[in-house]
Structure 1
């Protein structure tokens, strides 16, 4: 199995539970506009591409959950969603507050 195929197994690589094939941990959206490329394999370069991907229902494969389906968002809804994610970007760099460090 290639490393790309291994990566596609998702949480199964950690848990070895068959039901975890194709499942992935969801990262934070804070500063999401600064963290391209996106997806577990870096296959999407922009937030617009990510929104389009999910709007179309994601990849169709045998491991996709039945709860994943096309969203049918309008152009305005997609634009609004990208704008919302961009608004989660902080002008300050991420640091651990001094009170927590001690």
Structure 2
């Protein structure tokens, strides 16, 4: 079996306004998850391949690919973390 290189994944083309919004988020985000995701998307929009993003951001390839795919599907909602604070609710 021959293992090939995984195809390159890039964020969809972003408009000037979306690019400005991502830059603003990357400068002002208080949440480190939102900040990291915005930077990953900006780098991808600038043509950086997944491998380069992973080495510069010190994150895994799967993380970068997941962030890019989520943004391509859901837009800016993909920047927000999915968890909520505190203990899980009891099912009583």
Tell me the TM-score range normalised by the shorter chain.
Answer: under 0.3
Q: TM-score, normalized by length of structure 2?
A: 0.25
**TM-score, scaled relative to structure 1:** 0.24
Give the structure with higher Rg (CA).
1
